[in-house]
Structure 1
Amino acid sequence: MQPPLRIAVLECDTPLPAVNARYNNEGYYGVFKTLLKSSAENLGNSRLDPDTGLQITKWDVIDAQEYPRLEDVDAVLLTGSKHNSFEDIPWINRLVEFTQQVLAQNRVRILGICFGHQIVGRALGAKVGRSDQGWEIAVCDMDLTEKGKELFGLEKLRVQQMHQDVVHNCPSGVTLLGHSPRCAVQGMYAPRRFVTVQGHPEFTREIEDVIIQSRAKAGVLSEDQAQEALARTGNEHDGVSIGATFLKFLLEG
């Protein structure tokens, strides 16, 4: 029996209260724990036992600025965030530095989601910032490159989105996984090093609805934007399949 996969979830934000309550107030650690367990079930027990095959820990990188020792983990997962990945502020700078430390070695692997995807891009020297295409929200199609099709085992991905920031260019030596009309770099890959996606495989319709409604109420999204997006949050998406791909990536030698 193989030892459990030790995954450190670096929490880069806190869910809105209505979302957090649904996940036992465990933050995005709880959200990702749910996704990864479902994804392990998708793989089947022969690959990874959903109950005993995962050892997931949570790390507050904003307030506590706490990080795991690399010798104690097999992977780090950088979550999404409402914060801007391009900001020059202490906790984000520290996160970029830690990501560079992980990238500088060859055992611990990285999973990057949305903000986390952008942090990996920034750590590799890519430009990150606001998209000139505006917001990309709710379930959207992600057109895959040949490597993306091979990695995810699909011709196209459907994934929940919630972003207006992007990685503007794929860093040198990194494989592009996909793109969409509003985002040229939807995913990045380096063998045995990292997989990232701009979308949110961990988001359910309920999570997406709460965020959209909250941002519309705050005036961040227009009423038209919100209504158009809310009409698509319930569309079928490949979140669990993406999570399964993450786990297969972590399991491969």
Structure 2
Amino acid sequence: MNLKVPRPLRIAILECDTPLPETKKKYQGYGGVFELLLRAGARALNRPDLDPDTGLEFSRWQVESEPDKYPDPSTIDAILITGSKHDSFADTPWINKLVDYTAKILTETKVRVIGVCFGHQIVGRALKAEVGRNPAGWEAAVNDVQLSAKGKELFGVDKIRIHQMHRDCVFYYPEGVEELGSSPVCKVQGMYSPKRLFTVQGHPEFNQEIMTEIINTRHATGIFDDKAFQEHIGKAGLPHDGLVVSQAFLKFLLE
């Protein structure tokens, strides 16, 4: 008797930055961080149609340093656009190309799109929403996100706690997406369209170790003053719902 094994979900991770030294040494790149997160999510979901080891097939594309190399949409099921230290609204060739590629995926293919932080903003920009510097300033380390009705349904909780590291934002929800949540600092915390896109402004893939390295570096280079450093470092080790978000991403990909 032949049991049909489901084909793996083919996820192309578009890496938009290189991690800081300690994180890079441990995970190689942000692709490695996301692979760990999604496999952990698959284990937690415990669904017969998604084996954590064989059910996910990842490829990594360093679109910042190799902007001429992008996945052929016919060979993948989803793209995941990572975070980045760069401005999502910058008029630079590699970012403009990423926006164009994302818009093409959304309008011309059935490939699903996941966006995280910078990636969330790139999706907003691809959908013609305004993206820019948030007048409310930085949101960093673990923060609460109040969920909309759709957010509660997708995440299966009343609110999420998630690592943040941004001072840019999507200013309003573009047409054709559902709102997922907001925070006092940032109104657009997540976007969703069934079988099409799922984004979050926060970083479900970050942990205390990764966040601490970023905060320490930004303090050392003067991006965070002493007061901001104390505030953010105090929240770096709080419990967070990265695993909850990971499971929601996978359920979206299996819709």
Q: TM-score, normalised by structure 1?
A: 0.97
- CA–CA distance in structure 1, aligned partners of residues 34 and 227 of structure 2: 30
Aligned with residue 15 of structure 2, among 11, 15, 26:
11
* Displacement after TM superposition at 1:106 (Å): 4.6
CA RMSD of aligned residues (A): 0.8
* Displacement after TM superposition at 1:174 (Å): 1.2
Q: How does 1:1-253 map to 2 (within 5 A)?
A: 1-23=5-27, 25=28, 27-65=29-67, 66-252=69-255
* Structure 1 range deviating more: 158-167 or 38-47: 38-47
* Displacement after TM superposition at 1:230 (Å): 0.9
* Deviations 1:149-186 (CA, angstroms, capped at 9, x unpaired): 00111100100000000000000121110000000000
CA contact (8 A) 2:6 2:49 kept: no
CA contact (8 A) 1:35 1:243 kept: yes
Residue 33 of structure 2 aligns to a residue whose secondary structure is: helix
* Displacement after TM superposition at 1:223 (Å): 1.2
Structure 2: gaps (5+ residues): none
Residue 188 of structure 1 aligns to a residue whose secondary structure is: strand
- CA–CA distance in structure 1, aligned partners of residues 233 and 223 of structure 2: 15
* Displacement after TM superposition at 1:47 (Å): 3.7
CA contact (8 A) 1:106 1:193 kept: no
Whichever residue aligns with residue 43 of structure 2, its letter is E
CA contact (8 A) 1:160 1:200 kept: yes
Q: TM-score, normalised by structure 2?
A: 0.97
Structure 1: gaps (5+ residues): none
- CA–CA distance in structure 1, aligned partners of residues 82 and 224 of structure 2: 22
Residue 227 of structure 1 aligns to a residue whose secondary structure is: helix
* Deviations 1:11-44 (CA, angstroms, capped at 9, x unpaired): 0000001111111x2x111111111111111111
Identity between Structure 1 and Structure 2 (%): 54
- CA–CA distance in structure 2, aligned partners of residues 109 and 35 of structure 1: 18
* Displacement after TM superposition at 1:105 (Å): 2.9
* Displacement after TM superposition at 1:45 (Å): 4.5
CA contact (8 A) 1:106 1:192 kept: no
- CA–CA distance in structure 2, aligned partners of residues 47 and 84 of structure 1: 38
